Structure 1
Amino acid sequence: MIKIAGLSKSFGDLKAVNGLSLEIEEEENLILLGPSGCGKTTTLKMINRLIQPDGGKILIHGKDVLHQSAVNLRRNIGYVLQNNGLFPHYSVAQNIAIVPHLLKWDKKRIASRIDELLEKLHLPLAYRNRYPHELSGGQQQRVGLARALAAHPPILLMDEPFGALDNVTRAKIQEEFMALDELKRKTIIMVTHDIQEAFILGDQICLMDKGTIVQIGQPRDLLFKPSNSLVVNFLQEHRLQLELQTIQLKDLWNWLPVVDQTNGDNTLSSETNIWQTLEHLQGHNIEALQITDHRKKESRLVGFEQLMSAIYQYKKNIAA
Protein backbone atom coordinates (compact mmCIF):
# COMPACT_ATOMS: atom_id res chain seq x y z
CA MET A 1 0.00 0.00 0.00
CA ILE A 2 2.87 2.36 0.83
CA LYS A 3 6.26 2.25 -0.85
CA ILE A 4 9.16 4.45 0.24
CA ALA A 5 12.26 4.54 -1.97
CA GLY A 6 15.55 6.32 -1.29
CA LEU A 7 13.99 8.80 1.14
CA SER A 8 16.39 11.44 2.50
CA LYS A 9 16.19 14.52 4.68
CA SER A 10 18.89 16.76 6.16
CA PHE A 11 18.71 19.60 8.66
CA GLY A 12 21.88 21.59 8.09
CA ASP A 13 24.78 19.17 8.48
CA LEU A 14 22.60 16.55 10.17
CA LYS A 15 21.45 13.70 7.94
CA ALA A 16 18.18 12.84 9.69
CA VAL A 17 17.05 10.24 7.13
CA ASN A 18 19.55 8.71 4.74
CA GLY A 19 18.33 6.81 1.68
CA LEU A 20 15.55 4.92 3.49
CA SER A 21 13.53 2.36 1.51
CA LEU A 22 10.69 0.14 2.78
CA GLU A 23 7.24 -1.17 1.91
CA ILE A 24 4.14 -1.38 4.09
CA GLU A 25 1.39 -3.85 3.22
CA GLU A 26 -2.30 -2.99 3.41
CA GLU A 27 -3.78 -3.39 6.93
CA GLU A 28 -0.30 -3.90 8.38
CA ASN A 29 0.91 -2.25 11.58
CA LEU A 30 4.52 -1.14 11.06
CA ILE A 31 6.46 0.17 14.04
CA LEU A 32 9.35 2.60 13.53
CA LEU A 33 11.58 1.82 16.52
CA GLY A 34 14.87 3.24 17.64
CA PRO A 35 16.67 5.69 19.92
CA SER A 36 15.98 9.42 19.94
CA GLY A 37 17.36 11.15 16.86
CA CYS A 38 17.37 8.05 14.65
CA GLY A 39 14.94 9.58 12.09
CA LYS A 40 11.65 7.91 13.10
CA THR A 41 9.46 11.00 13.42
CA THR A 42 11.07 12.73 10.44
CA THR A 43 10.20 9.69 8.32
CA LEU A 44 6.63 9.67 9.61
CA LYS A 45 6.11 13.38 8.92
CA MET A 46 7.43 13.08 5.37
CA ILE A 47 4.68 10.55 4.56
CA ASN A 48 1.95 13.17 5.02
CA ARG A 49 4.24 16.02 3.92
CA LEU A 50 4.45 17.83 7.23
CA ILE A 51 8.16 17.71 6.37
CA GLN A 52 9.28 17.98 2.76
CA PRO A 53 11.89 15.36 1.78
CA ASP A 54 15.14 16.32 0.09
CA GLY A 55 15.07 13.25 -2.11
CA GLY A 56 13.38 9.94 -2.77
CA LYS A 57 9.80 8.88 -3.38
CA ILE A 58 6.76 8.08 -1.25
CA LEU A 59 4.07 6.17 -3.12
CA ILE A 60 0.60 5.44 -1.75
CA HIS A 61 -1.31 3.03 -3.99
CA GLY A 62 1.30 3.78 -6.65
CA LYS A 63 0.80 7.56 -6.56
CA ASP A 64 3.64 9.86 -5.50
CA VAL A 65 2.50 11.99 -2.55
CA LEU A 66 4.79 14.81 -3.70
CA HIS A 67 2.60 15.24 -6.80
CA GLN A 68 -0.61 15.54 -4.77
CA SER A 69 -2.25 18.37 -2.88
CA ALA A 70 -0.87 18.27 0.67
CA VAL A 71 -4.28 19.29 2.05
CA ASN A 72 -6.15 16.48 0.27
CA LEU A 73 -3.43 14.01 1.19
CA ARG A 74 -3.74 14.78 4.91
CA ARG A 75 -7.52 14.52 4.86
CA ASN A 76 -7.10 10.86 3.88
CA ILE A 77 -4.45 10.09 6.50
CA GLY A 78 -5.26 10.00 10.22
CA TYR A 79 -2.58 11.51 12.47
CA VAL A 80 -2.21 10.93 16.21
CA LEU A 81 0.31 12.91 18.29
CA GLN A 82 1.96 12.12 21.62
CA ASN A 83 0.36 15.12 23.33
CA ASN A 84 -2.96 14.42 21.49
CA GLY A 85 -2.90 17.83 19.69
CA LEU A 86 -6.51 18.64 20.62
CA PHE A 87 -7.74 22.19 20.15
CA PRO A 88 -8.30 23.42 23.74
CA HIS A 89 -11.16 25.77 22.81
CA TYR A 90 -13.06 23.03 20.93
CA SER A 91 -15.33 20.54 22.69
CA VAL A 92 -14.74 16.80 22.35
CA ALA A 93 -17.39 16.62 19.62
CA GLN A 94 -15.94 19.60 17.75
CA ASN A 95 -12.43 18.12 17.87
CA ILE A 96 -13.61 14.78 16.49
CA ALA A 97 -15.66 16.47 13.75
CA ILE A 98 -12.86 18.60 12.25
CA VAL A 99 -12.09 16.48 9.17
CA PRO A 100 -15.71 15.41 8.50
CA HIS A 101 -16.63 19.12 8.50
CA LEU A 102 -13.84 19.85 6.00
CA LEU A 103 -15.17 17.02 3.83
CA LYS A 104 -18.64 18.60 4.06
CA TRP A 105 -20.42 15.70 5.74
CA ASP A 106 -23.99 16.52 6.79
CA LYS A 107 -24.69 17.18 10.48
CA LYS A 108 -26.60 13.95 11.08
CA ARG A 109 -23.77 11.83 9.67
CA ILE A 110 -21.18 13.71 11.74
CA ALA A 111 -23.19 13.36 14.95
CA SER A 112 -23.68 9.63 14.34
CA ARG A 113 -19.94 9.13 13.72
CA ILE A 114 -19.00 11.03 16.90
CA ASP A 115 -21.30 8.86 19.01
CA GLU A 116 -20.03 5.70 17.33
CA LEU A 117 -16.37 6.54 18.07
CA LEU A 118 -17.04 7.61 21.66
CA GLU A 119 -18.71 4.25 22.28
CA LYS A 120 -15.92 2.28 20.57
CA LEU A 121 -13.25 4.10 22.58
CA HIS A 122 -15.06 3.67 25.90
CA LEU A 123 -15.94 7.33 26.44
CA PRO A 124 -19.41 8.32 27.77
CA LEU A 125 -21.63 10.12 25.26
CA ALA A 126 -22.01 12.86 27.88
CA TYR A 127 -18.38 13.81 27.16
CA ARG A 128 -19.38 15.23 23.76
CA ASN A 129 -19.60 18.74 25.22
CA ARG A 130 -16.58 18.58 27.51
CA TYR A 131 -13.32 20.35 26.74
CA PRO A 132 -9.86 18.75 26.70
CA HIS A 133 -8.79 20.25 30.04
CA GLU A 134 -11.75 18.49 31.68
CA LEU A 135 -10.45 15.05 30.63
CA SER A 136 -7.72 12.79 31.98
CA GLY A 137 -4.63 12.10 29.88
CA GLY A 138 -5.98 8.72 28.77
CA GLN A 139 -9.33 10.24 27.82
CA GLN A 140 -7.63 13.00 25.83
CA GLN A 141 -5.61 10.40 23.94
CA ARG A 142 -8.79 8.47 23.13
CA VAL A 143 -10.34 11.65 21.73
CA GLY A 144 -7.19 12.25 19.68
CA LEU A 145 -7.51 8.75 18.24
CA ALA A 146 -11.23 9.30 17.57
CA ARG A 147 -10.42 12.51 15.67
CA ALA A 148 -7.85 10.66 13.54
CA LEU A 149 -10.36 7.91 12.73
CA ALA A 150 -13.40 10.14 12.18
CA ALA A 151 -13.39 10.29 8.37
CA HIS A 152 -12.48 6.60 7.88
CA PRO A 153 -8.93 7.21 6.61
CA PRO A 154 -7.26 4.06 5.22
CA ILE A 155 -3.90 5.10 6.71
CA LEU A 156 -3.12 6.06 10.30
CA LEU A 157 0.15 7.71 11.37
CA MET A 158 0.90 7.65 15.10
CA ASP A 159 3.81 9.53 16.68
CA GLU A 160 4.51 8.22 20.22
CA PRO A 161 0.72 8.10 20.78
CA PHE A 162 0.94 6.67 24.31
CA GLY A 163 4.26 8.18 25.38
CA ALA A 164 2.80 10.84 27.70
CA LEU A 165 0.63 8.40 29.68
CA ASP A 166 1.40 6.67 32.95
CA ASN A 167 2.19 2.95 32.76
CA VAL A 168 -1.20 1.72 33.96
CA THR A 169 -3.18 3.94 31.57
CA ARG A 170 -0.76 3.15 28.77
CA ALA A 171 -1.21 -0.61 29.20
CA LYS A 172 -5.01 -0.22 29.25
CA ILE A 173 -5.10 1.84 26.05
CA GLN A 174 -2.69 -0.55 24.31
CA GLU A 175 -5.09 -3.37 25.17
CA GLU A 176 -8.03 -1.39 23.78
CA PHE A 177 -5.98 -0.48 20.70
CA MET A 178 -5.35 -4.14 19.85
CA ALA A 179 -9.01 -5.06 20.39
CA LEU A 180 -10.52 -2.25 18.28
CA ASP A 181 -11.96 -3.79 15.09
CA GLU A 182 -11.80 -0.51 13.21
CA LEU A 183 -8.00 -0.36 13.59
CA LYS A 184 -7.62 -3.86 12.17
CA ARG A 185 -8.77 -2.47 8.82
CA LYS A 186 -6.18 0.32 8.78
CA THR A 187 -2.64 0.51 7.52
CA ILE A 188 -0.78 1.92 10.54
CA ILE A 189 2.70 3.37 10.90
CA MET A 190 3.60 4.07 14.51
CA VAL A 191 6.69 5.71 15.98
CA THR A 192 7.92 4.61 19.39
CA HIS A 193 11.13 4.29 21.34
CA ASP A 194 9.45 1.83 23.74
CA ILE A 195 10.67 -1.67 22.88
CA GLN A 196 7.89 -3.47 24.79
CA GLU A 197 5.23 -1.41 23.03
CA ALA A 198 6.75 -2.14 19.62
CA PHE A 199 6.67 -5.88 20.23
CA ILE A 200 3.13 -5.83 21.61
CA LEU A 201 1.57 -3.75 18.81
CA GLY A 202 3.67 -4.34 15.70
CA ASP A 203 3.11 -6.78 12.83
CA GLN A 204 6.45 -5.57 11.47
CA ILE A 205 9.19 -3.64 13.26
CA CYS A 206 11.61 -1.33 11.49
CA LEU A 207 14.61 -0.73 13.75
CA MET A 208 16.38 2.50 12.78
CA ASP A 209 19.70 4.09 13.67
CA LYS A 210 21.27 7.30 12.32
CA GLY A 211 18.64 7.72 9.61
CA THR A 212 18.94 4.22 8.16
CA ILE A 213 17.22 0.85 8.62
CA VAL A 214 19.16 -1.61 10.77
CA GLN A 215 16.62 -4.44 10.39
CA ILE A 216 13.00 -4.80 9.39
CA GLY A 217 10.87 -7.87 10.06
CA GLN A 218 8.40 -9.54 12.39
CA PRO A 219 9.14 -9.20 16.13
CA ARG A 220 10.43 -12.78 16.30
CA ASP A 221 12.82 -12.06 13.40
CA LEU A 222 14.55 -9.34 15.40
CA LEU A 223 14.68 -11.57 18.48
CA PHE A 224 15.77 -14.86 16.98
CA LYS A 225 17.34 -13.85 13.66
CA PRO A 226 19.06 -10.49 14.37
CA SER A 227 20.89 -9.02 11.38
CA ASN A 228 23.85 -7.78 13.44
CA SER A 229 25.17 -7.03 16.93
CA LEU A 230 23.41 -3.64 17.02
CA VAL A 231 20.02 -5.40 17.00
CA VAL A 232 21.17 -7.85 19.68
CA ASN A 233 22.48 -5.09 21.94
CA PHE A 234 19.41 -2.88 21.44
CA LEU A 235 17.07 -5.65 22.63
CA GLN A 236 19.34 -7.27 25.21
CA GLU A 237 17.98 -5.60 28.36
CA HIS A 238 14.42 -6.71 27.55
CA ARG A 239 15.21 -10.01 25.80
CA LEU A 240 13.72 -12.49 28.30
CA GLN A 241 10.38 -10.70 28.61
CA LEU A 242 10.21 -10.10 24.86
CA GLU A 243 10.78 -13.79 24.18
CA LEU A 244 8.06 -14.81 26.65
CA GLN A 245 5.62 -12.30 25.10
CA THR A 246 6.49 -13.22 21.50
CA ILE A 247 6.49 -17.03 21.61
CA GLN A 248 2.98 -18.50 21.52
CA LEU A 249 1.92 -21.94 22.71
CA LYS A 250 1.21 -23.01 19.12
CA ASP A 251 4.91 -22.44 18.38
CA LEU A 252 5.75 -25.11 20.98
CA TRP A 253 3.04 -27.53 19.85
CA ASN A 254 5.30 -30.38 18.70
CA TRP A 255 7.19 -30.43 22.02
CA LEU A 256 4.18 -30.52 24.36
CA PRO A 257 2.51 -33.71 25.70
CA VAL A 258 -0.67 -34.85 23.93
CA VAL A 259 -3.95 -34.84 25.91
CA ASP A 260 -6.13 -37.92 25.39
CA GLN A 261 -9.30 -36.49 26.91
CA THR A 262 -10.36 -32.87 26.69
CA ASN A 263 -11.32 -31.02 29.83
CA GLY A 264 -13.05 -27.66 29.84
CA ASP A 265 -11.42 -26.56 33.10
CA ASN A 266 -8.14 -24.60 33.02
CA THR A 267 -7.96 -24.49 29.21
CA LEU A 268 -6.08 -21.90 27.16
CA SER A 269 -6.00 -21.15 23.45
CA SER A 270 -2.90 -22.18 21.49
CA GLU A 271 -2.48 -18.49 20.53
CA THR A 272 -1.75 -17.55 24.17
CA ASN A 273 1.82 -16.35 24.66
CA ILE A 274 4.22 -17.80 27.23
CA TRP A 275 4.07 -14.74 29.49
CA GLN A 276 0.28 -15.06 29.80
CA THR A 277 0.56 -18.82 30.33
CA LEU A 278 2.97 -18.41 33.23
CA GLU A 279 0.70 -15.77 34.76
CA HIS A 280 -2.24 -18.18 34.47
CA LEU A 281 -0.33 -21.06 36.07
CA GLN A 282 0.78 -18.85 38.96
CA GLY A 283 -2.49 -16.95 39.37
CA HIS A 284 -4.61 -20.12 39.53
CA ASN A 285 -2.01 -22.06 41.56
CA ILE A 286 -2.21 -25.10 39.29
CA GLU A 287 0.47 -27.49 38.06
CA ALA A 288 -0.73 -27.99 34.48
CA LEU A 289 -2.99 -26.47 31.84
CA GLN A 290 -4.74 -27.92 28.85
CA ILE A 291 -4.01 -26.08 25.60
CA THR A 292 -6.48 -26.29 22.71
CA ASP A 293 -5.86 -25.59 19.05
CA HIS A 294 -9.40 -25.15 17.70
CA ARG A 295 -8.23 -25.11 14.08
CA LYS A 296 -6.40 -28.44 14.38
CA LYS A 297 -8.94 -29.76 16.93
CA GLU A 298 -6.04 -30.97 19.07
CA SER A 299 -5.05 -30.50 22.70
CA ARG A 300 -1.79 -30.46 24.63
CA LEU A 301 -0.86 -30.41 28.31
CA VAL A 302 1.58 -27.90 29.75
CA GLY A 303 3.10 -27.35 33.16
CA PHE A 304 6.12 -25.27 34.10
CA GLU A 305 8.71 -27.97 33.39
CA GLN A 306 7.15 -28.96 30.05
CA LEU A 307 6.97 -25.30 29.11
CA MET A 308 10.65 -24.63 29.83
CA SER A 309 11.70 -27.77 27.95
CA ALA A 310 9.56 -26.86 24.93
CA ILE A 311 10.94 -23.29 24.84
CA TYR A 312 14.48 -24.69 24.85
CA GLN A 313 13.64 -27.00 21.94
CA TYR A 314 11.92 -24.21 20.03
CA LYS A 315 14.88 -21.82 20.36
CA LYS A 316 17.30 -24.60 19.44
CA ASN A 317 15.22 -25.44 16.35
CA ILE A 318 14.77 -21.84 15.18
CA ALA A 319 18.50 -21.14 15.51
CA ALA A 320 19.40 -24.18 13.38
Structure 2
Amino acid sequence: MSGTTAERQRLGAGAAGTEVGPGTRRRLRPAGYLWILPALVLCVGLIYYCIAYTAVISTWDWDGLDPFPEHVGAGNYVRIAQDPIFAKTIEHTAVFFVVTFVVQTALGVVFAVLLHSKVRLAVVYKVIIFIPVVLAPAITAPVFRRLYAPDGQFNWVLEHIGLGSLAQPWLGQESTALPVIMAITIWQWTGLTFVLYFAAMAQIDVSVLEAARIDGAGNLRVLASIIWPGVRGTTVALGILSAIGALKTFDVPYLVAVGGPNYATEFLGTYIYRKTIAQSHVGYGAALSVILLVLALGFAILLQVRSREKETTG
Protein backbone atom coordinates (compact mmCIF):
# COMPACT_ATOMS: atom_id res chain seq x y z
CA MET A 1 0.00 0.00 0.00
CA SER A 2 2.78 2.38 0.92
CA GLY A 3 4.70 1.39 -2.23
CA THR A 4 1.69 2.25 -4.38
CA THR A 5 1.42 5.67 -2.75
CA ALA A 6 5.10 6.38 -3.29
CA GLU A 7 4.82 5.33 -6.93
CA ARG A 8 1.89 7.69 -7.44
CA GLN A 9 3.80 10.55 -5.86
CA ARG A 10 6.78 9.84 -8.11
CA LEU A 11 4.61 9.72 -11.24
CA GLY A 12 2.74 12.88 -10.22
CA ALA A 13 6.01 14.70 -9.66
CA GLY A 14 7.26 13.59 -13.06
CA ALA A 15 4.05 14.75 -14.76
CA ALA A 16 4.44 18.14 -13.13
CA GLY A 17 7.90 18.51 -14.64
CA THR A 18 9.89 17.94 -11.44
CA GLU A 19 12.41 15.41 -10.29
CA VAL A 20 12.13 14.20 -6.73
CA GLY A 21 14.60 11.86 -5.16
CA PRO A 22 17.05 11.44 -2.31
CA GLY A 23 19.57 14.24 -2.29
CA THR A 24 18.05 15.96 -5.33
CA ARG A 25 16.37 19.33 -5.56
CA ARG A 26 13.03 20.01 -7.20
CA ARG A 27 13.60 21.36 -10.70
CA LEU A 28 10.98 22.97 -12.98
CA ARG A 29 11.08 22.41 -16.69
CA PRO A 30 10.93 25.77 -18.49
CA ALA A 31 9.24 24.30 -21.60
CA GLY A 32 6.25 26.65 -21.22
CA TYR A 33 8.41 29.71 -21.69
CA LEU A 34 8.95 28.79 -25.32
CA TRP A 35 5.26 29.38 -26.01
CA ILE A 36 5.28 32.95 -24.69
CA LEU A 37 8.63 33.81 -26.28
CA PRO A 38 7.10 35.20 -29.54
CA ALA A 39 4.75 37.51 -27.64
CA LEU A 40 7.58 38.55 -25.33
CA VAL A 41 9.83 39.39 -28.27
CA LEU A 42 7.01 41.31 -29.96
CA CYS A 43 6.20 43.38 -26.86
CA VAL A 44 9.71 44.06 -25.67
CA GLY A 45 11.53 44.05 -28.98
CA LEU A 46 9.03 45.99 -31.05
CA ILE A 47 6.39 47.84 -29.03
CA TYR A 48 8.51 49.01 -26.12
CA TYR A 49 11.45 49.72 -28.39
CA CYS A 50 9.24 51.92 -30.58
CA ILE A 51 7.93 53.75 -27.51
CA ALA A 52 11.45 54.39 -26.29
CA TYR A 53 12.59 55.49 -29.76
CA THR A 54 9.60 57.85 -30.03
CA ALA A 55 10.61 59.40 -26.72
CA VAL A 56 14.11 59.94 -28.12
CA ILE A 57 12.76 61.52 -31.31
CA SER A 58 10.60 63.86 -29.22
CA THR A 59 13.81 65.58 -28.10
CA TRP A 60 14.79 66.39 -31.71
CA ASP A 61 13.87 69.12 -34.15
CA TRP A 62 13.60 66.77 -37.11
CA ASP A 63 11.77 66.59 -40.43
CA GLY A 64 12.17 62.82 -40.72
CA LEU A 65 14.76 63.00 -43.52
CA ASP A 66 17.72 65.01 -42.24
CA PRO A 67 20.49 62.58 -41.19
CA PHE A 68 21.67 65.06 -38.54
CA PRO A 69 18.63 66.12 -36.47
CA GLU A 70 19.01 68.97 -34.03
CA HIS A 71 18.73 68.02 -30.36
CA VAL A 72 16.39 70.44 -28.57
CA GLY A 73 15.85 68.60 -25.28
CA ALA A 74 12.45 69.50 -23.83
CA GLY A 75 11.95 72.25 -26.40
CA ASN A 76 9.11 70.44 -28.16
CA TYR A 77 7.25 69.96 -24.88
CA VAL A 78 7.64 73.66 -24.07
CA ARG A 79 6.18 74.52 -27.47
CA ILE A 80 3.28 72.14 -26.87
CA ALA A 81 2.48 73.81 -23.55
CA GLN A 82 2.19 77.11 -25.41
CA ASP A 83 0.31 75.72 -28.42
CA PRO A 84 -3.33 76.94 -28.53
CA ILE A 85 -4.30 74.18 -30.98
CA PHE A 86 -3.04 71.53 -28.54
CA ALA A 87 -5.25 73.12 -25.87
CA LYS A 88 -8.18 72.82 -28.29
CA THR A 89 -7.48 69.15 -28.87
CA ILE A 90 -7.53 68.46 -25.11
CA GLU A 91 -10.82 70.36 -24.76
CA HIS A 92 -12.36 68.47 -27.67
CA THR A 93 -11.14 65.15 -26.26
CA ALA A 94 -12.66 65.85 -22.83
CA VAL A 95 -16.04 66.89 -24.23
CA PHE A 96 -16.00 64.01 -26.70
CA PHE A 97 -15.27 61.45 -23.96
CA VAL A 98 -17.94 62.68 -21.55
CA VAL A 99 -20.73 62.97 -24.13
CA THR A 100 -20.05 59.75 -26.03
CA PHE A 101 -19.49 57.66 -22.90
CA VAL A 102 -22.64 58.89 -21.14
CA VAL A 103 -24.88 58.50 -24.20
CA GLN A 104 -23.44 55.13 -25.25
CA THR A 105 -23.76 53.81 -21.69
CA ALA A 106 -27.39 54.94 -21.41
CA LEU A 107 -28.34 53.50 -24.80
CA GLY A 108 -26.41 50.28 -24.20
CA VAL A 109 -28.11 49.65 -20.87
CA VAL A 110 -31.57 50.45 -22.25
CA PHE A 111 -31.13 48.20 -25.28
CA ALA A 112 -29.74 45.37 -23.14
CA VAL A 113 -32.61 45.58 -20.66
CA LEU A 114 -35.23 45.67 -23.42
CA LEU A 115 -33.75 42.71 -25.28
CA HIS A 116 -33.45 40.68 -22.07
CA SER A 117 -37.22 40.93 -21.81
CA LYS A 118 -39.58 38.92 -24.00
CA VAL A 119 -39.27 40.77 -27.31
CA ARG A 120 -40.19 39.25 -30.62
CA LEU A 121 -37.43 39.10 -33.26
CA ALA A 122 -34.81 39.90 -30.60
CA VAL A 123 -32.04 38.38 -32.73
CA VAL A 124 -32.86 40.72 -35.60
CA TYR A 125 -32.70 43.75 -33.29
CA LYS A 126 -29.34 42.60 -31.92
CA VAL A 127 -27.91 42.35 -35.43
CA ILE A 128 -29.27 45.77 -36.40
CA ILE A 129 -27.77 47.39 -33.29
CA PHE A 130 -24.39 45.73 -33.78
CA ILE A 131 -23.97 46.26 -37.55
CA PRO A 132 -22.39 49.77 -37.24
CA VAL A 133 -19.54 48.30 -35.15
CA VAL A 134 -18.30 46.15 -38.03
CA LEU A 135 -18.56 48.87 -40.69
CA ALA A 136 -15.25 50.48 -41.60
CA PRO A 137 -15.11 54.28 -41.07
CA ALA A 138 -13.55 54.63 -44.52
CA ILE A 139 -16.80 53.26 -45.98
CA THR A 140 -19.22 55.23 -43.83
CA ALA A 141 -17.35 58.58 -43.94
CA PRO A 142 -18.44 59.54 -47.49
CA VAL A 143 -22.01 58.67 -46.56
CA PHE A 144 -21.97 60.98 -43.56
CA ARG A 145 -20.28 63.77 -45.49
CA ARG A 146 -23.11 63.60 -48.00
CA LEU A 147 -25.76 63.19 -45.30
CA TYR A 148 -24.72 66.34 -43.42
CA ALA A 149 -23.89 68.46 -46.48
CA PRO A 150 -25.83 71.75 -46.92
CA ASP A 151 -27.93 70.07 -49.63
CA GLY A 152 -27.77 66.65 -47.96
CA GLN A 153 -30.47 64.27 -46.83
CA PHE A 154 -30.52 65.46 -43.21
CA ASN A 155 -31.46 69.02 -44.18
CA TRP A 156 -33.91 67.61 -46.75
CA VAL A 157 -35.71 65.69 -43.99
CA LEU A 158 -35.81 68.79 -41.77
CA GLU A 159 -37.36 70.84 -44.56
CA HIS A 160 -40.01 68.23 -45.31
CA ILE A 161 -41.14 67.87 -41.69
CA GLY A 162 -41.54 71.61 -41.18
CA LEU A 163 -38.18 72.25 -39.49
CA GLY A 164 -36.44 73.89 -42.41
CA SER A 165 -35.30 76.76 -40.20
CA LEU A 166 -32.91 74.31 -38.50
CA ALA A 167 -31.20 73.34 -41.75
CA GLN A 168 -27.55 74.43 -41.84
CA PRO A 169 -24.09 73.34 -43.04
CA TRP A 170 -23.51 70.91 -40.19
CA LEU A 171 -19.90 70.10 -41.05
CA GLY A 172 -19.06 73.57 -42.32
CA GLN A 173 -19.33 75.54 -39.08
CA GLU A 174 -17.53 75.27 -35.75
CA SER A 175 -20.64 75.15 -33.57
CA THR A 176 -22.06 71.95 -35.11
CA ALA A 177 -19.07 70.06 -36.55
CA LEU A 178 -17.98 68.48 -33.25
CA PRO A 179 -21.52 67.41 -32.24
CA VAL A 180 -21.88 65.70 -35.63
CA ILE A 181 -18.63 63.79 -35.06
CA MET A 182 -19.86 62.72 -31.61
CA ALA A 183 -23.20 61.59 -33.06
CA ILE A 184 -21.44 59.46 -35.66
CA THR A 185 -19.22 57.89 -33.00
CA ILE A 186 -22.20 57.12 -30.79
CA TRP A 187 -23.98 55.48 -33.72
CA GLN A 188 -20.86 53.45 -34.50
CA TRP A 189 -19.98 52.13 -31.01
CA THR A 190 -23.29 51.81 -29.15
CA GLY A 191 -23.58 48.28 -30.51
CA LEU A 192 -20.40 47.19 -28.71
CA THR A 193 -21.59 48.78 -25.47
CA PHE A 194 -24.92 46.98 -25.84
CA VAL A 195 -23.28 43.58 -26.40
CA LEU A 196 -21.06 43.92 -23.32
CA TYR A 197 -23.95 45.02 -21.10
CA PHE A 198 -26.17 42.27 -22.50
CA ALA A 199 -23.54 39.66 -21.59
CA ALA A 200 -23.01 41.20 -18.14
CA MET A 201 -26.73 41.18 -17.37
CA ALA A 202 -26.90 37.50 -18.31
CA GLN A 203 -24.58 36.79 -15.33
CA ILE A 204 -26.96 38.35 -12.79
CA ASP A 205 -28.71 35.71 -10.66
CA VAL A 206 -32.30 35.37 -11.82
CA SER A 207 -33.45 34.42 -8.31
CA VAL A 208 -32.34 37.84 -7.03
CA LEU A 209 -34.48 39.55 -9.66
CA GLU A 210 -37.43 37.31 -8.85
CA ALA A 211 -37.07 38.03 -5.13
CA ALA A 212 -37.07 41.76 -5.84
CA ARG A 213 -40.23 41.38 -7.92
CA ILE A 214 -41.92 39.44 -5.12
CA ASP A 215 -41.00 42.23 -2.68
CA GLY A 216 -42.82 44.68 -4.92
CA ALA A 217 -39.86 46.36 -6.66
CA GLY A 218 -40.75 48.05 -9.93
CA ASN A 219 -38.73 48.14 -13.14
CA LEU A 220 -36.82 51.31 -12.27
CA ARG A 221 -36.07 50.05 -8.76
CA VAL A 222 -34.73 46.74 -10.09
CA LEU A 223 -32.64 48.58 -12.67
CA ALA A 224 -31.16 51.02 -10.15
CA SER A 225 -30.61 48.64 -7.22
CA ILE A 226 -29.76 45.30 -8.84
CA ILE A 227 -28.92 45.52 -12.53
CA TRP A 228 -26.81 48.70 -12.51
CA PRO A 229 -24.60 47.62 -9.55
CA GLY A 230 -24.32 44.18 -11.14
CA VAL A 231 -22.74 45.59 -14.31
CA ARG A 232 -20.35 47.99 -12.54
CA GLY A 233 -17.28 46.10 -13.75
CA THR A 234 -18.47 46.39 -17.35
CA THR A 235 -19.06 50.11 -16.90
CA VAL A 236 -15.52 50.61 -15.58
CA ALA A 237 -14.05 48.64 -18.46
CA LEU A 238 -16.08 50.66 -20.96
CA GLY A 239 -14.99 53.87 -19.25
CA ILE A 240 -11.33 52.93 -19.65
CA LEU A 241 -11.83 51.93 -23.28
CA SER A 242 -13.79 55.10 -24.02
CA ALA A 243 -11.15 57.34 -22.41
CA ILE A 244 -8.32 55.70 -24.35
CA GLY A 245 -10.44 55.68 -27.51
CA ALA A 246 -11.18 59.40 -27.16
CA LEU A 247 -7.48 60.13 -26.84
CA LYS A 248 -6.69 58.04 -29.92
CA THR A 249 -9.63 59.25 -32.03
CA PHE A 250 -8.53 59.78 -35.60
CA ASP A 251 -10.54 58.05 -38.29
CA VAL A 252 -13.98 59.69 -38.01
CA PRO A 253 -12.82 63.31 -37.45
CA TYR A 254 -10.21 63.07 -40.19
CA LEU A 255 -12.27 61.20 -42.79
CA VAL A 256 -15.46 63.19 -42.24
CA ALA A 257 -14.24 66.71 -41.44
CA VAL A 258 -10.40 66.59 -41.81
CA GLY A 259 -10.14 68.23 -38.38
CA GLY A 260 -11.97 71.35 -39.51
CA PRO A 261 -13.40 73.81 -39.87
CA ASN A 262 -10.80 75.98 -38.11
CA TYR A 263 -9.63 73.01 -35.98
CA ALA A 264 -13.17 72.54 -34.61
CA THR A 265 -12.84 68.75 -34.83
CA GLU A 266 -9.10 68.48 -34.17
CA PHE A 267 -8.09 65.70 -31.78
CA LEU A 268 -4.69 64.53 -30.61
CA GLY A 269 -4.63 61.80 -33.24
CA THR A 270 -5.44 64.11 -36.14
CA TYR A 271 -3.07 66.77 -34.82
CA ILE A 272 -0.22 64.25 -34.56
CA TYR A 273 -0.87 63.22 -38.16
CA ARG A 274 -1.02 66.84 -39.32
CA LYS A 275 2.25 67.76 -37.62
CA THR A 276 4.17 64.56 -38.42
CA ILE A 277 3.05 63.73 -41.96
CA ALA A 278 1.54 66.85 -43.51
CA GLN A 279 3.95 69.40 -42.00
CA SER A 280 7.02 67.12 -41.47
CA HIS A 281 7.53 68.19 -37.84
CA VAL A 282 8.43 64.66 -36.76
CA GLY A 283 10.01 65.63 -33.44
CA TYR A 284 6.98 67.72 -32.46
CA GLY A 285 4.64 64.89 -33.49
CA ALA A 286 6.66 62.41 -31.43
CA ALA A 287 6.35 64.67 -28.38
CA LEU A 288 2.57 64.79 -28.92
CA SER A 289 2.56 60.98 -29.15
CA VAL A 290 4.40 60.67 -25.83
CA ILE A 291 1.87 63.00 -24.21
CA LEU A 292 -0.97 60.92 -25.66
CA LEU A 293 0.55 57.74 -24.19
CA VAL A 294 0.97 59.34 -20.75
CA LEU A 295 -2.60 60.65 -20.76
CA ALA A 296 -4.01 57.27 -21.83
CA LEU A 297 -2.14 55.43 -19.09
CA GLY A 298 -3.13 58.07 -16.55
CA PHE A 299 -6.82 57.79 -17.44
CA ALA A 300 -6.73 54.00 -17.28
CA ILE A 301 -4.99 53.95 -13.90
CA LEU A 302 -7.26 56.65 -12.46
CA LEU A 303 -10.47 54.91 -13.50
CA GLN A 304 -9.20 51.57 -12.20
CA VAL A 305 -8.21 53.03 -8.84
CA ARG A 306 -11.53 54.85 -8.47
CA SER A 307 -13.37 51.65 -9.27
CA ARG A 308 -11.48 49.71 -6.59
CA GLU A 309 -12.14 52.46 -4.06
CA LYS A 310 -15.88 52.25 -4.77
CA GLU A 311 -15.82 48.46 -4.43
CA THR A 312 -14.07 48.62 -1.05
CA THR A 313 -16.31 51.39 0.31
CA GLY A 314 -19.45 49.94 -1.24
The two structures have a TM-score, normalised by structure 1, of: 0.22
Higher strand share: 1
| Higher relative contact order, structure no. (Cα contacts within 8 Å, ≥ 6 residues apart) | 2
The two structures have a TM-score, normalised by structure 2, of: 0.23
Higher helix share: 2
